[in-house]
Each structure stands twice: as structure tokens, then as C-alpha cells.
Amino acid sequence: MAVYKQSLLVFSTLLVAGFAVAAPHRALSAETPVQVNPQNNPNLDALLRQGRELVNSGDYSQAIAIYQQAARLDTENPRIFSGIGYLEARQGNYQASVEFYQQAIGLEPKNADFQYALGYAMANLQNYPAAAAAYRRAAQLDRKNVNARIGLGVVLFQQKDYSGAFKAYQEAIALDPKSWQAYSSMGLVLIQQGNFASAVTVLEQAAKLAPKQASVQLKLGTALLRSGNTSEGIAAFEEAAKLEPRNPEVQLEIGEVLKAQNDFDGALVAYQRAIAVRPNLVEAHAAIGQIQLEKKDFLGAIITFRRVIQLDPDRAEAYYNMGKAFKARDRKSEAIQAFQQALDTYRQQGNNDGAQKAEAALNELK
């Protein structure tokens, strides 16, 4: 079987990570009524009503400002702080979200929802040890919290604690045998461990539970390919594309699979579909350039790699490949310039193998 690029596995990792740090549930004042005594503090009650109206209208920034006013009036109400934390997270302000959830936890340390939400924010900051601690605390406080265990599994996976991640997913499945997310995540651990046959079995269960989830089909396709079931693997990727035809990453992965099969024309179609959705997807442009080199379309390759370099000036391989295209077109001085840029960039990045390759190409031209 052909050796498939690591990008297949890397992308699947991103998919599962994206799921398991999904937005926190029930831990926000915007959706959970805050208990106040309007007779003692009518201004607070009015602010909270106004804040909920702003949330419902999608004006999160103004809602945060209103809730902050409410927090100054009621400094002992954890739901207000958790509501602000939620809204900050919705806007991608994860550091601010952490700070507000920590204030909520300081007031109500045994609230599992607050701990789960803190884990979510920490995971998005890539502070995986802190995220793991928060998810563990959430699981301890709420023994039936499936999402906390899935979140824990993902951040442990990011720390390369694969046995710990597998155990967390096992616990999630024991709590909810219909959790396709847990099966999907467990399948990724098995892929990482090289246990492809078991990964296929687990991911087939995830697909049975969630037949319309493209992310499951992507991971199933990866497991099938790695176990030698090429046609079935490609079919799984094609199913993913049907489920999410506007997802550029799905098309990118299909392109990688077809390119590994030397189906360059099919791969080009997939990469072009990816670019049609996301014009600046540098990986797709770079892959097209590599196929153009294989097909001896050297002028096309030069144009493509110039675009790649424009999108990512630090991509050493693009300079190197452009040098190859220039060399094939007998444009010696431009080839030397491209190989020299590749050499310099490889050295800056500490890539010794790349530097040796670029240096050898330069020596052939001098």
C-alpha cells in the first residue's frame, strides 16, 4: 500500500479537537435565569433583562458591558460572571473568558458547568494541562458528564497521552453508548497508535450512530486507507465530500488521497474545488504545483508556486519546487535565485535535510 501523507492524520486530529472543545452548555446567565431580588435591587433586575435582550439580538459586546454593570451591583452572583465568560468565548476572547469563569468558580467551586466551560476556554488557548484539570474537575463534580470526558480525552491526546485519552473515551461511552463523538475520538487514538483494524471497527460504529457526519467519514477513510482498504477508504472520503460539499478541508483530503493513488487529474479537481471555496488555501495551491511538476507543466508550476510564496513567504519547499520548475525551463539564473532562497529559509527553520537538498540543487547549477 502507498504511504499516505501525515496530513491525513493531522487533519483528523484537528477535526476531533474542534468537536471536543465545543461551546459550554448551561453555564451562562444569558440562557440560565439569574436569581435576584428585584425589591432589593430593581436596577440589577433591569440590567439582566436588558442583557438577555441584547444576547438574543446578537449584540454580544453591548451585552457584556451590561452584564459587567450587573456584576458591579451583585459581586456575589456567579451566574453573572459565567454569562460574561460565555459571551467572551463566543467572540473568541478566550483569555477574558477564562478570567470570568475563574471568578464564577471562586464563588461556586462545585459547579460542574463552570469547570467544563473553563476547560473549553483553556483548550482554545492551547493550555492543555489547565484544560485537562478543569475537565477532570467537571467530571468529578458531575459523574454523568459525557462531554467533560470527551473534552479531557482531546486535551490528553494533544499532550500525546494516548492511553489517558483512550480511557477518557471509554468512560464517555460507558455513560452514553450512543455517543458518536466518543467513538469518533477513540478511533483517532487507535489510528495514532497504529491499530488500524480496531480503528475501522470503532469508526464504523461512529458512522452507524452519525451517518451524516463528514468528520467521521474522514477518519474512517484514513483508517481504511492505513489498513490497506484503498477503495473503501476513498469511498469514505467521497461520502464526506457529499455530506459537506462546501468544506474545503474535505476536498483537500480527497486530493491528498487521489494524489497518493497517482490519480493526478482527480486530485487536481479536488484541490480546485477546495480553492473555489477558500481561495487562499495555501496547501491546495502547493499541492497543485507539485502535480504540475509531475505532469511537466513547468510554466504552470512556476505561476502556482509564486502564488504559494505570496500566500506563505516562509514556505521553503515552495522556493525549492519553483527552482526545479525554473531549471526545467532552462531559466538558470532564476532557478539559482529560487534554490538560494529555499536554502536560506530551510536554514532559518533548522531543517537540515531541506538545506542539504537545496544546497545540492545549487551545486548542480554552479
Q: Tell me: the pLDDT tens digits for 232-241?
A: 988 998 899 8
The predicted pLDDT at position 36 comes to 44
pLDDT of 32 over the 80 cut = no
Residue bearing cell 473515551: 169
Q: In the structure grid, which three cell numbers stand for residue 220, read together?
A: 474512517
The predicted pLDDT at position 218 comes to 87
Tens digits of residue pLDDT in 161-174: 999 999 999 999 99
357, part of any domain: yes
The predicted pLDDT at position 40 comes to 54
38, part of any domain: no
181, part of any domain: no
Q: How many Å apart are CA 289 and CA 326, to the nearest integer? A: 13
Q: How many Å apart are CA 342 and CA 334, to the nearest integer? A: 12
Q: Range of 297's domain? A: 280-366
**CATH at 327:** 1.25.40.10
132, part of any domain: no
179, part of any domain: no
187, part of any domain: no
Q: How many residues does the chain have?
A: 366
Count of domains for the chain: 1
Which residue blocks in the chain are alpha helix, DSSP H?
A: 7-20, 42-56, 60-73, 78-90, 94-107, 112-124, 128-141, 146-158, 162-175, 180-192, 196-209, 214-226, 230-243, 248-260, 264-277, 282-294, 298-311, 316-328, 332-348, 352-365
Q: Which residue, among 273, 269, 268, 331, has the nearest Cα to 298 in the 3D structure? A: 331
254, part of any domain: no
Judged by average pLDDT, the poorest of 24-38, 262-276, 350-364 is 24-38
338, part of any domain: yes
Tens digits of residue pLDDT in 280-339: 999 999 999 999 999 999 999 999 999 999 999 999 999 999 999 999 999 999 999 999
Tens digits of residue pLDDT in 83-138: 899 898 888 888 999 999 999 999 999 999 999 999 999 998 888 999 999 999 99
Q: How many Å apart are CA 308 and CA 322, to the nearest integer? A: 10
pLDDT of 197 over the 80 cut = yes
